[in-house]
Amino acid sequence: MKKTILFLLCLMFTFSAFAQIPPFVDVQEWEVKDQDKAFTLMNTWKELEKSMVENAPAIFLLSEMDGNTIYFCRAFNSMEEVIEYRQSRWGENGWNSKVSEKWRESVGEDPWKGTGADVVMNHIFRMRMDLSYIPEGTNLDEELPNNPYRRHVNIAVDWGKRGEFIENIKAGIENDKKLNNDYIRFMFQPIFGGVDGGDFMMVVLGESRASYFTGLEKRTAKREADGDWQNIQANPIATWVNEESLMITY
């Protein structure tokens, strides 16, 4: 009976933790030359959209630390919400025109001049709750803004090995629990767009890039000394396509 109650409590924690995160993320990828100026323009739009649009989703920006990419992101609870919000933006009664008018009042004429801003493409990602790791007792409402660094790793899974890859990730989550590893990692899967060849995108959080790698070094030391971890990693079935270091702005 005690085991049953404990199991139910764990389930309740899991669902409540993930309930804090809208799992569908609609992303517009921009390449710019003047990242600071372009970021200011996008952040101004973000704040206006959040304050002026009824039922606006969670909106945030991701700025590449070692390049000139900015991702304008909106997070939703379902694909239906994604579609409805996109549809509500345009047309005679769409919210885009009123936000654009206020935005231009704020940023002035020809605001994009000198930024070299170009839209690369749009993406939609779905968070895989079953493949993400959040330590027990974590309050995401507190931890997300306190950990603005993001390491994004795009992963290609070997042909025919997706099921085995998923089981390995789940085994790795249980191993992290056993080793009491204190970090947050989300796993996303592209629905539309994504990186060429990328089947999954792993997002790991940190207070800063330096603190992230300090934590990674500690986790790696514990893992390398653990036989179960070594068994999980014994037969690699996936490769890293690329990775990015980014900072998030809510």
The domain defined by 128-249 carries CATH number 3.30.70.890: no
Greater pLDDT, 96 or 92: 96
Average pLDDT on 131-160 reads: 96
CATH number of the 19-122 domain: 3.30.70.2740
Q: Measure CA 183 to chain center.
A: 15
Cβ–Cβ < 8 Å for 202, 152: yes
Distance CA 72, CA 75 (A): 10
Residue 8, pLDDT above cutoff 80: no
> Residue 16 above 90 pLDDT?
no
Nearest in space to 237 (alpha carbons), one of 154, 157, 131, 155: 157
**Over 50: is that where the pLDDT of 134 sits?**
yes
Q: What is the pLDDT of residue 15?
A: 36
- Domain map (residue ranges) of the chain: 19-122, 128-249
Mean pLDDT over residues 12-24, rounded? Answer: 58
Q: What is the pTM of this model?
A: 0.90
Residue 20 pLDDT greater than 70, yes or no: no
Computed over every residue of the chain, the mean pLDDT equals 92
pLDDT score at 21: 85
Do 19-122 and 128-249 have matching folds? yes
What number is the average pLDDT over the span 90-110?
A: 95
Q: What one-character-per-residue DSSP string does 218-238 give?
A: HHHHHHHT-HHHHHHTSS--E
Candidates 220, 129, 204, 134; CA nearest to 166 is 129
Dist CA 44 CA 28 (whole Å)? 16
Query: Which residues neighbour 39 within 8 Å (Cβ) at sequence distance 6 or greater?
Result: 61, 63, 70, 249
d(CA 78, CA 54): 17
More confident residue, 68 or 9: 68
Helix (H, G, I), strand (E, B) or coil at 106: helix
Rounded to an integer, the average pLDDT of 116-126 is 98
Query: Measured between alpha carbons, how far is 218 from 220 in angstroms, rounded to an integer?
Result: 5
User: For 170, how many CA atoms within 13 A lie in the half-sphere containing its CB?
Assistant: 9
1: pLDDT strictly greater than 70: no
Q: Convert the pLDDT of each residue in 163-174 to its tens digit.
A: 999 999 999 999
Do residues 27 and 82 lie in contact, with contact meaning Cβ atoms separated by under 8 Å?
A: no
| Local confidence band at 152 (pLDDT 50, 70, 90 cut-offs) | very high
Q: What is the mean pLDDT of residues 93-103?
A: 96
14 has pLDDT over 70: no
78 three-class SS: coil
Amino acid present at 237: I
